[in-house]
A and B are shown apart, each in its own frame.
Chain A
Amino acid sequence: MARAMRLVIDSVAKSFGSTRVLDDISLDVPDGSRTAIVGASGSGKSTLLRLIAGFEEPDHGRISLGDRVLAGAGGRSMPAHRRGIGYVAQDGALFPHLTVEGNIAFGLRGARDRAARVREAMSLAALDPALAGRFPHQLSGGQQQRVALARALAPRPAVILLDEPFSALDTGLREQTRRAVIEALERSATTAVLVTHDQDEALTFGHGIGIMVDGRLAQSGVPSEVYDSPATPEIAAFLGAAVLLPATLGSGCAECVLGRIPIRHDRSGAGAAGTEVAGTEVAGTVAADSVASLAMVRPAQFELRTDASAPNATVTGIRRIGPITEVHLRLGDTEASTIELRLPHHEVIGLDPGVRVEVRVDGGVVLYPSR
């Protein structure tokens, strides 16, 4: 349906007054792909989206779509309405004086097949045709966001930008709407950029992910690879639960309280096993002579063995939370390292505080320099 094109952001910077909001951002969004930009509040992700949409102009750098330069060509920017870029705002920004149909048809100028295009866009966004005559205030939050998406898709934009479109929805509706939006984007093969502060949303959105930290794109790449091999311990913690264990490097393995664990990726700069994961780009460099001393493990990698031949942890507490049980463990013999594992009930039968167990790590660790 869409005329998908490659979106390239090259060394873009933006300041408001003396505040640097974006600093040297470069990002490549391939044709028909979905990329999520995730970051904390104030990290500059929404500003980046507004620069792409044409609502703000970059101070430096260049933004291009296919062979068209949108901003940065001799200082002149292409106005937002000529860019062919759809935009879905956080609150949907539906025109309150127009019906669903009026909203979706807003960007269709002189289209003979107007009604058909509206129906098609509604179908793409999984909207019930019976809603066409309703006004925005007569819709639920999820329906409003789908109308906003249908409205943005109707003119067949080259790229669609989504500015935290699910953040105002409650949990159940958010998941349902997110799925509907992803399906609609998939069916229309539209290139999409999503901005969000929700890590799960970013990791499940699509093909690419970018992590914004303080106005910089700290890391970008394929979601699974970025999650498995975060550039820094901070990004690791931001993307999901991460356990950081003090470790030393030896014979291509990390020596830590859990024993010798293979290194999946070495970001310590100490020259151990592991190389840069293909397709993952990291901003900045790591000092070559730094000593590896932190090993990052995701909780899902831990395997708990109660028939321990070589116990390396002690159960310090058990807490039942609905369908699962949270097991608190002290690793080794000191109080320094503690972890919490969430396991199904049947896997923790017989576990009580004080019981010695063995914790193994499946899949290796990511190694970082000491802080």
Chain B
Amino acid sequence: MTGGRGRSGDGGRRPPATLVALVVVLAAVMLVPVGYVVATVVEIGWAELAELVFRPRVGELLLNTVLLLLIGVPATIVLGVGGAWLVERTDLPGRRVFAVLLAAPLAIPAFVASYGWASAIPSIHGLGGGLLVAVLAYSPLVYLPVLATLRGLDPALEESARSLGDGSWAVFARVVLPQLRLAMLGGGLIVALHLLAEYGAFAFVRFDTFTTAIVVAYQSTFAGPAAASLGVVLTALCLLLLVAESSARGRGRYARVGSGSPHPAVPIRLGRATAPAIGALTALVLASTAVPLASVLRWLGAAESSAFADLGATVLQTALLGAGAAIGATLVAFPVAWLVGRFPGRRVRVLEAPYYVASSLPAIIVALALVTVTLRLVPALYQTVFTVMVAYVIVFLPRALVSLRAGIAQVPESLEEAARSLGVSPLVARLRVTVPLLVPSIAAGAALVALGAANELTATLLLAPTGTRTLATQFWSAASAVDYPGAAPYALLLILLSIPAVGLMFAQARGWRAR
């Protein structure tokens, strides 16, 4: 992966042809689910597709999904931005503790949180139930990027606005909020994609979305036209969201433009708003973390010893699948991250885009695509560990890619050049200098992929070989049979397993442009 002599039209060096070819081939594999959707449209034909799509049931699902997005995404943004601002910019008592607790719901998979709520208050159901569970579970996805951006924001901007006559609220609305736009949009997009992809959390509260309907259709008619047509609509919604988010970003600058070193912001005095702020954050933490956790512990207390019998084998299988997914995703991400990090430019960004588009599709679409492709083209791969791994890599690749890309960007090429000037070949320079420096990035990305794979439910249910037992599938198997005590040990392990990864994400958010 050495640089060639020339420079590309973008001004950077031209990447080696073999590297580009590898990235293109991998992108083609990543785009299999998109290809599946296109092929479905062609195969079913417009007439039949229209008949399948334009029916009352689809209208009902569409309404549910749109309402979920229209209410759920703004709600997570309000909670995420509000929480981040309170812990980062005010003199709120206990803000360091709240800063951690507001990220804690990420350690509880949404379907476990939903199980906690539904088993504690069975009357929770429908849109209200879905919104309650999803907003509480996913608000940290906005909170963390906003927290990171707030920490990187130069307080001099706010001070300038104050000196120009703006009060606290005006400064927040006119200076801080516009700077948070990218973080809010990015976090909001991730929340929206999660809402579209979520299955378990909504199944518990009996709220129908496209994803739950596809699973039901798959269970009754396998990968037939009904499931496929719903998949087409779901994919269209995802792509629409990606385009909407991209066009809403605007062209303003969001980086610090001045020189000189930034200094810590002076906390804003909450005064009489202190008590309501503490009350609101406490309620949020109780609802998002304490209720599901208490529910899991309550059912754990009622669990019989047989509920723990399979635990060892399940943990082992989960760890093996997670490790496999982490290795696979890292291996696929490496050439892409190298291309993007070492040869930046417009053409390279075009090559990178398919990886994110593919990963933004719900796992159910990826699973349907792989079921169809393996059955039609390579039946030997149907319901194999390999196919599960491919699904995990497609779904969770951005976690490894983003981490590796950031790592590569932080290892300047001048280090490798220095090594080469000391008589070391390019390959050895990479092994002795670049790779050791990338270890933290590789480990962080791999841990996040492994965690995602361990928590993954939908694709695993559809693709895993018979007899496969992961923490998520075993939890689901017990909980969907209303064996809440039997599901509790798996739920607790899923939470415990997630804590280190959430700690890592929190540390990354807090350390972003550390002062």
A interface residue numbers (CB < 8 A to B): 16-17, 53-57, 79-87, 89-91, 93-97, 106-107, 109, 148, 151-152, 155, 157, 161
Q: How far is the CA of A93 from the CA of B421 in the complex (A)?
A: 12
Q: How far is the CA of A36 from the CA of B433 in the complex (A)?
A: 30
Decide if A93 touches B423 in the complex (CB within 8 Å).
Answer: no
Q: How far is the CA of A367 from the CA of B304 in the complex (A)?
A: 103
- Contacts A55-B417, A91-B414, A95-B433 given: A17-B422 contact, CB under 8 Å? no
- Contacts A89-B414, A95-B415, A97-B436 given: A81-B7 contact, CB under 8 Å? no
Q: How many residues of chain B get a CB closer than 8 Å to chain A's CBs? A: 23
Q: How far is the CA of A53 from the CA of B414 in the complex (A)?
A: 12
Chain B positions 400-425 with a Cβ under 8 Å from a chain A Cβ: 412, 414-415, 417-425
Decide if A79 touches B420 in the complex (CB within 8 Å).
Answer: yes
Decide if B426 touches A87 in the complex (CB within 8 Å).
Answer: no
Q: Is B437 an interface residue, CB under 8 A from the partner? A: yes
Chain B residues near A54: list those with CB within 8 A. 420-421
**Which single member of B6, B417, B424, B425 contacts A107 (CB below 8 Å)?**
B424
Decide if A80 touches B437 in the complex (CB within 8 Å).
Answer: no
Would you give the shortest CB distance from B418 to chain A, in whole angstroms? 4
Nearest-CB residue, chain A, relative to B411: A96
Q: Is B252 an interface residue, CB under 8 A from the partner? A: no
**Which single member of B5, B421, B433, B437 contacts A81 (CB below 8 Å)?**
B421
Decide if A152 touches B421 in the complex (CB within 8 Å).
Answer: yes
Chain B residues near A107: list those with CB within 8 A. 421-424
Decide if A85 touches B433 in the complex (CB within 8 Å).
Answer: no
Q: Is B467 an interface residue, CB under 8 A from the partner? A: no
Chain B positions 407-455 with a Cβ under 8 Å from a chain A Cβ: 412, 414-415, 417-426, 429, 432-433, 436-437
11 A-B pairs with C-beta separation under 8 A:
A17-B6, A53-B421, A82-B423, A86-B422, A89-B417, A93-B418, A96-B437, A97-B436, A107-B421, A152-B421, A157-B421
Nearest-CB residue, chain B, relative to A104: B422
Nearest-CB residue, chain A, relative to B415: A93
- Contacts A16-B7, A97-B436 given: A87-B417 contact, CB under 8 Å? yes
Q: Is B9 an interface residue, CB under 8 A from the partner? A: yes
Chain B residues near A56: list those with CB within 8 A. 5
Q: How far is the CA of A54 from the CA of B414 in the complex (A)?
A: 13
Q: How far is the CA of A53 from the CA of B422 in the complex (A)?
A: 11
Decide if A81 touches B420 in the complex (CB within 8 Å).
Answer: yes
**Which single member of B418, B423, B436 contacts A155 (CB below 8 Å)?**
B423
- Contacts A91-B414, A93-B412, A93-B415 given: A55-B420 contact, CB under 8 Å? yes
Chain B residues near A91: list those with CB within 8 A. 412, 414
Chain A residues near B417: list those with CB within 8 A. 53, 55, 80, 87, 89, 93
Chain A residues near B419: list those with CB within 8 A. 95, 106
Chain A residues near B418: list those with CB within 8 A. 87, 89, 93-95, 148, 151
Chain B positions 474-512 with a Cβ under 8 Å from a chain A Cβ: none
Q: Which of A83, A86, A90, A106 gathers the greatest number of chain B CB atoms within 10 Å? A: A106
Q: How far is the CA of A194 from the CA of B399 in the complex (A)?
A: 43
Chain A residues near B420: list those with CB within 8 A. 54-55, 79-81
Would you give the shortest CB distance from A138 to chain B, in whole angstroms? 17
Chain A residues near B423: list those with CB within 8 A. 81-82, 84, 107, 109, 155
Decide if B436 touches A106 in the complex (CB within 8 Å).
Answer: no
Decide if B422 touches A152 in the complex (CB within 8 Å).
Answer: yes
A-B pairs with CB below 8 Å: how many?
Answer: 76
Decide if B412 touches A57 in the complex (CB within 8 Å).
Answer: no
Q: How far is the CA of A148 from the CA of B419 in the complex (A)?
A: 11
Decide if A155 touches B437 in the complex (CB within 8 Å).
Answer: no
B interface residue numbers (CB < 8 A to A): 5-7, 9, 11, 412, 414-415, 417-426, 429, 432-433, 436-437
- Contacts A17-B9, A87-B421, A95-B433 given: A81-B412 contact, CB under 8 Å? no
Nearest-CB residue, chain B, relative to A17: B7
Q: How far is the CA of A54 from the CA of B412 in the complex (A)?
A: 17
- Contacts A93-B412, A97-B436 given: A80-B421 contact, CB under 8 Å? yes
Chain B residues near A57: list those with CB within 8 A. 5
Would you give the shortest CB distance from B59 to chain A, in whole angstroms? 55
Q: How far is the CA of A55 from the CA of B424 in the complex (A)?
A: 13
Chain A residues near B432: list those with CB within 8 A. 106
Q: How far is the CA of A257 from the CA of B136 in the complex (A)?
A: 84
Chain B residues near A79: list those with CB within 8 A. 420, 425-426
Decide if A151 touches B433 in the complex (CB within 8 Å).
Answer: no
Q: How far is the CA of A95 from the CA of B424 in the complex (A)?
A: 14
Q: How far is the CA of A131 from the CA of B235 in the complex (A)?
A: 59
Would you give the shortest CB distance from B7 to chain A, in whole angstroms? 4
- Contacts A89-B414, A91-B414, A93-B417 given: A106-B422 contact, CB under 8 Å? yes
Chain A residues near B433: list those with CB within 8 A. 95
Chain A residues near B11: list those with CB within 8 A. 16-17
Q: A90-B414, A91-B414 are in contact. List 16 more A-B contacts (CB 8 A).
A: A16-B6, A16-B7, A17-B9, A54-B421, A79-B420, A80-B417, A83-B421, A93-B417, A94-B418, A95-B433, A96-B437, A106-B419, A107-B421, A109-B423, A148-B418, A152-B421
Q: How far is the CA of A87 from the CA of B422 in the complex (A)?
A: 8
Would you give the shortest CB distance from A156 to chain B, in whole angstroms? 11
**Which single member of A82, A97, A148 contacts B437 (CB below 8 Å)?**
A97
Q: How far is the CA of A152 from the CA of B414 in the complex (A)?
A: 14
Chain B residues near A151: list those with CB within 8 A. 418, 422
Would you give the shortest CB distance from A51 to chain B, in whole angstroms? 11
Q: How far is the CA of A84 from the CA of B9 in the complex (A)?
A: 33
Chain B residues near A152: list those with CB within 8 A. 421-422
Nearest-CB residue, chain A, relative to B9: A17
- Contacts A55-B420, A56-B5, A106-B419 given: A81-B425 contact, CB under 8 Å? yes
Would you give the shortest CB distance from B13 to chain A, in whole angstroms? 9
**Which single member of A85, A90, A95 contacts B421 (CB below 8 Å)?**
A85
Nearest-CB residue, chain B, relative to A85: B421
Nearest-CB residue, chain B, relative to A106: B422
Q: How far is the CA of A93 from the CA of B419 in the complex (A)?
A: 9
Q: How far is the CA of A57 from the CA of B7 in the complex (A)?
A: 12
Q: How far is the CA of A51 from the CA of B334 in the complex (A)?
A: 29
Q: How far is the CA of A155 from the CA of B420 in the complex (A)?
A: 12
Q: Which of B412, B420, B436 gathers the greatest number of chain A CB atoms within 10 Å? A: B420
Would you give the shortest CB distance from A1 to chain B, in whole angstroms? 16
Q: How far is the CA of A85 from the CA of B418 in the complex (A)?
A: 10
Q: Which of A55, A56, A57, A157 gathers the greatest number of chain B CB atoms within 10 Å? A: A55
- Contacts A95-B433, A96-B437 given: A106-B424 contact, CB under 8 Å? yes
Q: How far is the CA of A56 from the CA of B2 in the complex (A)?
A: 11
Nearest-CB residue, chain B, relative to A160: B421
Would you give the shortest CB distance from A286 to chain B, in whole angstroms? 36
Q: How far is the CA of A96 from the CA of B423 in the complex (A)?
A: 19
The 8 closest A-B pairs by CB, nearest first: A107-B422, A87-B421, A80-B420, A93-B418, A93-B414, A16-B7, A89-B414, A81-B420
Nearest-CB residue, chain A, relative to B2: A79
Chain B residues near A81: list those with CB within 8 A. 420-426, 429
Would you give the shortest CB distance from A139 to chain B, in whole angstroms? 16
Nearest-CB residue, chain B, relative to A151: B422
Q: How far is the CA of A95 from the CA of B125 in the complex (A)?
A: 57
Chain A residues near B9: list those with CB within 8 A. 17
Q: Which of B417, B423, B426, B437 gathers the greatest number of chain A CB atoms within 10 Å? A: B423
Chain B residues near A96: list those with CB within 8 A. 437
Nearest-CB residue, chain B, relative to A16: B7
Would you give the shortest CB distance from A287 to chain B, in whole angstroms? 37
Q: Which of A87, A151, A161 gathers the greatest number of chain B CB atoms within 10 Å? A: A87
Would you give the shortest CB distance from A300 to chain B, in whole angstroms? 35
**Which single member of A16, A55, A90, A155 contacts B422 (CB below 8 Å)?**
A155
